[in-house]
Structure 1
Amino acid sequence: MFAKTQENIDRIRTFTPVDEDLAQIPADIARVAIETREQFGLGVDSYRCQLWCDPDGIDVFADIAYAQPTGDTIAHIKAHSLDIYLPHDALLRGGATLPVIVDIHGGGFVYGYKDLNRNFGTHVASYGVAVVSLGYRLAPTTDFMGQLQDIFTALQWLQAHAHEYPIDLRNLFITGDSAGATLALYTAAALNSTVVGEQLHCPIQDLPVRGTIFQSGLFELEPFTRGSSTTDTLPYIAQMGGTFFTSFAEQTTEELQSMQGLVQYAQLPPSVVITSSDDFLETQSLLFAAAMRQRGNYCEIYDVVPTKGKTLGHVFPVGQVWLEESQQVFEIMQRFVFDHSQYYL
């Protein structure tokens, strides 16, 4: 872990807020958020970010506002903006044929801008797809339902502006890593299942998801909605008052709050699940894939075992795009997207 110097704190501010969005938050709760963000940011991301870069041939449209910011700091602006990453060749050719992958970044619901995933998104785009990377408000400035509403608002913006880019929203896929996978799962369920969409107050119609790609996901929310301790997986959520999932629990049925129930209840699209043998959420991925297959839903799972003397860990394709294992994941994503896309004249 990097030392907590001003230089290192300034470095992590390029991909996560630290205290920028916390002026209206009670001091004791803000302190927990700051400590958590610093702990995350000064860990491996501080090392990895020095190697992050965009590949050649990718056009980046960054920091596009999809809603009015709730404040004037960079954190408020980033929270309601998105990036679009496109192969330059698609712009040269014209037309509107690229399948679209919407990416929802992770960070335990409390950490990270969309910029945390820019390195991942631009590399995925180099495999011949469009990537739309979404920002959203972080805990403790909002809760789980608020984050979902931000994502729905961003998707509404995308519906309204898709004609400005060489993309085809009829071939829409959603990916997310860690907590972003949780948000991606419920977003896909809301878009594909009317009953789920109603409970989650999703305003979007006629935007079905053709497939989902989950990386090191957190899929089981029942321990949180039933008031069980959050200290094992999300200790800072409990320390910030433990209310992050309260409105979600109050506004949804029990079936929607559990992994098994959601898989049975929702019309989930085909999925790819990525994890590794040294991922602390590996079991969640395995159980989710099993639930999908038991339901008869299409689900591929890739549980990568690193070679001796090496590690992969949590969300390795997002944080370490240069790894051979990560490049294999990008090839899997490319094949999955094109296999499950339909093409129109």
Structure 2
Amino acid sequence: MNKKKQKSIFKIGMSLLTALLISGIIIWKVPQFRLVSFRWIFESPERKQLNTPADTTGIVVEKDIPYINDGDRGHLLDIYRPENADDTTPVVVNIHGGGLFASYKEVNRDYGFEWVRKGYTVVNISYRRLPETTLWHQIDDCMNALRYIDANRKELGLNLDTSYLTGDSAGALLSLFTNSINESPELQADFGIKGTNIRFKAMGLISIMLETDRHDFMDFITPLVINESDRDQAYYSYLLNPSSLVAKTTLPPVYLVTGDEDLIQNETLKLKSLLAQNNVHHDLKDYPKGDKHKLDHVFAIKNPKWEESQEVIQLMNDFFKEHQQ
């Protein structure tokens, strides 16, 4: 190869590298670009699941039930139940994660099926996402879903007298908001959101995303969590400091899951401390670094067939049964 050709290839390479660097800077500095990039990454497990046929042996699946009949994908829920389910079958209501800006209920489909195999009927709900909506509206979506299943429990065949609430990451945060508001008339007044007749026996929170005023790689969600109309509202402080909910409401027993390879492990540990300070019965499974697998953020959701994931579900199941009465 002559020097002229080598010089030409070098220039092309440098141009490509410069373009990549500039693109990277734009993606990192502009919140909208970073959100789109992270949404693509966060939704990769969902895309993989949707392209893989699900094993529904022994499972009855009812998909895309609108809890608000407006055609919005964020206002749908699924119900998975054992073939032999009856009016005594306990219920798990599940809220999926995704940083508040990514994924829908389908990302938790296979995880939900594992609960069905434990003998539960699962209500798996979607909600609208940032930036198309705000955190208040996401909380309202979840409460609307609860009100729908509460009002239609007989028609839907749901034993909500023996029900549990689970969530992972941002879904765990929404579970905390949902249960807190549902149990507190004061918070219902502050948020302007009606409660329900459902009283969850216990909660299971995996890798909770407890902070919304973020100062890490996900700081782009902070200006999206609220809008100007939220600032003068009684609920405003809760949106930017969800930890304050713990002292303002009644929480059922809570089972927490995290691990040393969970990139936001500290947020679960912070919630554990708050639960202890407020005398909320709780337990924690905090995994060390995995031997067979990387036990990273919400691994039990992404890989529910792993031995460790099966252990998470069994431990949470045991906790729920302990607090069934």
Q: Work out whether 1:269 is the aligned partner of 2:264.
A: no
Between the aligned partners of 1:155 and 1:270, the Cα distance in structure 2 is 19
Structure 1 residues 259, 132: closer, same or farther in 2, change over 3 A?
Answer: same
Q: Deviation per CA, 1:54-105, whole angstroms, max 9, x where unpaired?
A: 3521111110111122x5xxxx3x2111000111111xxx4x1122111111
Counterparts of residues 190-269 of structure 1 (less than 5 Å): 190-221=181-212, 224=213, 230-238=214-222, 242-246=223-227, 250-251=232-233, 252=235, 254=237, 257-269=240-252
Number of aligned pairs? 294
Map of 1:170 onto structure 2? 161
Higher mean displacement: 200-209 or 322-331: 200-209
1:282 alignment partner AA: Q
Whether the 8 Å CA contact 2:130–2:224 is kept in 1: the answer is no
The alpha carbon displacement at 1:301 in A equals: 0.5
Whether the 8 Å CA contact 1:54–1:123 is kept in 2: the answer is no
Whether the 8 Å CA contact 1:275–1:304 is kept in 2: the answer is yes
Between the aligned partners of 2:256 and 2:231, the Cα distance in structure 1 is 26
SS in 2 for 1:210: coil
SS in 1 for 2:255: strand
SS in 2 for 1:169: coil
Structure 1 residues 108, 61: closer, same or farther in 2, change over 3 A?
Answer: same
Between the aligned partners of 2:200 and 2:217, the Cα distance in structure 1 is 29
Q: CA RMSD in A?
A: 2.4
Q: Deviation per CA, 1:12-53, whole angstroms, max 9, x where unpaired?
A: xxxxxxxxxxxxxxxx876554333223234x6656666673
Structure 1 residues 82, 331: closer, same or farther in 2, change over 3 A?
Answer: same
Q: Work out whether 1:37 is the aligned partner of 2:20.
A: no
The alpha carbon displacement at 1:172 in A equals: 2.4
Q: Work out whether 1:118 is the aligned partner of 2:109.
A: yes
SS in 1 for 2:90: strand
- Unaligned 5+ segments in structure 1 are 1-27, 225-229
Tell me the TM-score normalized by structure 1: 0.78
Map of 1:146 onto structure 2? 137
Q: Work out whether 1:314 is the aligned partner of 2:297.
A: yes
Identity of aligned residues (%): 29
2:201 alignment partner AA: R
Q: Work out whether 1:97 is the aligned partner of 2:88.
A: yes
Structure with bigger gyration radius = 2
Structure 1 residues 200, 54: closer, same or farther in 2, change over 3 A?
Answer: farther
- Unaligned 5+ segments in structure 2 are 1-29
The alpha carbon displacement at 1:217 in A equals: 0.3
Between the aligned partners of 2:209 and 2:290, the Cα distance in structure 1 is 25
Between the aligned partners of 1:323 and 1:248, the Cα distance in structure 2 is 42
Map of 1:131 onto structure 2? 122
Structure 1 residues 127, 212: closer, same or farther in 2, change over 3 A?
Answer: same
Q: Work out whether 1:280 is the aligned partner of 2:263.
A: yes
Structure 1 residues 276, 39: closer, same or farther in 2, change over 3 A?
Answer: same
Whether the 8 Å CA contact 1:273–1:302 is kept in 2: the answer is yes
Between the aligned partners of 2:175 and 2:52, the Cα distance in structure 1 is 27
Between the aligned partners of 1:107 and 1:205, the Cα distance in structure 2 is 25
Map of 1:155 onto structure 2? 146
Structure 1 residues 67, 330: closer, same or farther in 2, change over 3 A?
Answer: same
SS in 1 for 2:160: strand
Structure 1 residues 185, 248: closer, same or farther in 2, change over 3 A?
Answer: farther
1:308 alignment partner AA: D
Structure 1 residues 173, 201: closer, same or farther in 2, change over 3 A?
Answer: farther
2:165 alignment partner AA: I
Q: Work out whether 1:80 is the aligned partner of 2:75.
A: yes
Between the aligned partners of 2:240 and 2:231, the Cα distance in structure 1 is 7
SS in 1 for 2:80: strand
Structure 1 residues 296, 111: closer, same or farther in 2, change over 3 A?
Answer: same
Between the aligned partners of 1:161 and 1:186, the Cα distance in structure 2 is 22
